[in-house]
């Protein structure tokens, strides 16, 4: 679960600054608040309790980020069975993120990226299942009210002294006061309750630590290294409400905090659309959704590159070298599928016989896509994909 960050000099500097001890305290002394200084650990020495990192505090009423931790959001985000997410990044004092217009931003050694998954609470008729609301998250914020929300897990990606990332899953305890490291993952029984009262019981899957490799090996084709997926310039280029009346573009905000180096301003900075924004075109929305939900594997350097199906932002919609590259009239190389009439990944104008839509509409093992951390169908995205494929023009595949 490691990925060279192409920064050997930085790694050597960090190794001099961070002793090979149990706790890798952030170079420069950390950020002190009433919840203590942030502590950064490597994969080998990760503590059993999330609270030992001091990245966030939980007083039983509210989960709050440490003041040295910056929340962020994405223009379009990965679907995780309707879970809400509180995303945040910690950068060690005196260190900076290096801006890149394309690809994952270049983070310094000692960075920790956290993502806390939670749901609004709802009533469940079955005591074996926690009732949670099926809603779409509108605003992320910088804290979580525990009276009205149920915490499931917090994932941490940490950039270790050798320049490699490690992923660590923490599952929130039953009393919701702390989270425990579960390297083997865990299933959490939830009942997803919609606004009309209909419900769906399912087993939410907290992935094991090794599963990070499958999705996060975005540059190594399923090899030994991983990278963060979300924090790219095109995903972060949006306004965020930081509280206390502060609302600012996230890239501008990070630069203002002296945490982002090499950023010259928003002119020319890339930006994905919010796939939920119906004022945007169908192709732009579909590209944004597929880019963040599928392209980490389905790209030239992702773990699914051998499938020949490329769903990254730059490939979808392109006519060269061929529209088959993003699925049009392309037969799958390994997936057997359900049989006729499903033959091609995308059949222009015929969404309901396109394998892309089929796999997004099923949760059975062998059919579901993405294959990790999705056990519920994303109804709104399925509708978007159906509309998009239905308006794709092209010759008949048969």
Structure tokens, 8:
């050997």
Predicted local confidence at residue 241, as pLDDT? 93
Residue 211's closest CA among 267, 246, 169, 153? Answer: 169
Name, in order, each residue with C-beta under 8 angstroms of 85's C-beta and a sequence gap of 6 or more: 77, 115, 116, 117, 118, 137, 140
Predicted local confidence at residue 139, as pLDDT? 83
CB 178 within 8 A of CB 52: no
Predicted local confidence at residue 137, as pLDDT? 93
Strands (E), the chain: 24-25, 39-40, 56-58, 62-65, 69-72, 84-90, 97-98, 112-120, 130-133, 143-145, 149-159, 165-172, 179-181, 186-193, 199-206, 239-243, 246-249, 260-261
Predicted local confidence at residue 112, as pLDDT? 97
CB 351 within 8 A of CB 389: yes
Name, in order, each residue with C-beta under 8 angstroms of 100's C-beta and a sequence gap of 6 or more: 106, 232, 233
Whether the pTM exceeds 0.85: the reply is yes
pLDDT in tens, the chain (398 residues): 333 333 333 333 333 333 333 334 333 334 444 567 999 998 899 999 999 999 999 999 999 999 999 999 999 999 999 999 999 999 999 999 999 999 899 999 999 999 999 999 999 989 999 999 999 998 888 899 999 999 999 999 999 999 999 999 999 999 999 999 999 999 999 999 999 999 999 999 998 866 555 554 444 445 557 789 999 999 999 999 998 888 999 999 999 999 999 999 999 999 999 999 999 999 999 999 999 999 888 888 777 878 889 999 999 999 999 999 999 999 999 888 899 999 999 999 999 999 999 999 999 988 998 887 789 999 999 999 999 999 999 888 97
Residue 118's closest CA among 99, 141, 95? Answer: 141
Q: 24: which strand partners? A: 40
> How do the domains of the chain map onto residue ranges?
8-261, 282-390
Cis amide bond preceding 184, omega within 30: no
Question: From CA 242, how far away is CA 231, in angstroms rounded?
Answer: 17
């Amino acid at each position: 679960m490691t990925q060279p960050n192409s920064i050997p000099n930085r790694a050597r500097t960090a190794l001099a600054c961070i002793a090979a001890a149990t706790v890798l305290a952030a170079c420069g002394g950390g950020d002190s608040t009433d919840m203590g200084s942030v502590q950064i650990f490597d994969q080998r020495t990760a503590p059993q309790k999330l609270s030992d990192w001091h990245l966030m505090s939980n007083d039983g009423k509210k989960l709050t980020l440490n003041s040295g931790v910056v929340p962020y959001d994405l223009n379009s985000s990965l679907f995780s069975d309707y879970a809400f997410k509180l995303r945040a990044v910690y950068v060690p004092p005196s260190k900076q993120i290096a801006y890149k217009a394309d690809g994952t931003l270049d983070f310094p050694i000692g960075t920790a990226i956290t993502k806390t998954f939670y749901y609004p609470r709802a009533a469940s008729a079955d005591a074996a299942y926690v009732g949670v609301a099926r809603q779409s998250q509108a605003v992320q914020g910088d804290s979580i009210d525990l009276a009205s929300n149920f915490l499931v897990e917090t994932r941490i990606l940490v950039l270790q002294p050798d320049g490699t990332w490690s992923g660590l899953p923490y599952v929130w305890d039953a009393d919701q006061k702390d989270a425990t490291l579960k390297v083997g993952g865990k299933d959490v029984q939830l009942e997803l309750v919609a606004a009309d009262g209909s419900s769906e019981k399912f087993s939410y899957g907290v992935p094991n630590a090794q599963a990070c490799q499958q999705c996060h090996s975005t540059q190594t084709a399923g090899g030994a290294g991983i990278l963060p997926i979300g924090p790219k310039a095109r995903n972060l280029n949006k306004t965020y409400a930081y509280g206390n009346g502060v609302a600012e573009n996230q890239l501008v905000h990070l630069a203002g905090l002296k945490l982002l180096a090499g950023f010259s301003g928003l002119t020319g900075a890339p930006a994905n659309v919010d796939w939920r924004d119906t004022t945007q075109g169908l192709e732009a929305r579909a590209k944004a959704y597929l880019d963040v939900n599928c392209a980490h594997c389905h790209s030239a350097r992702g773990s699914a590159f051998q499938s020949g199906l490329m769903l990254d932002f730059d490939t979808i919609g392109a006519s060269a070298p061929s529209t088959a590259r993003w699925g049009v009239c392309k037969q799958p190389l390994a997936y057997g599928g359900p049989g006729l009439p499903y033959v091609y990944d995308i059949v222009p104008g015929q969404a309901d016989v396109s394998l892309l839509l089929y796999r997004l509409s099923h949760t059975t093992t062998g059919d579901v896509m993405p294959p990790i951390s999705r056990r519920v169908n994303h109804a709104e995205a399925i509708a978007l994909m159906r509309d998009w494929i239905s308006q794709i023009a092209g010759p008949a595949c048969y």
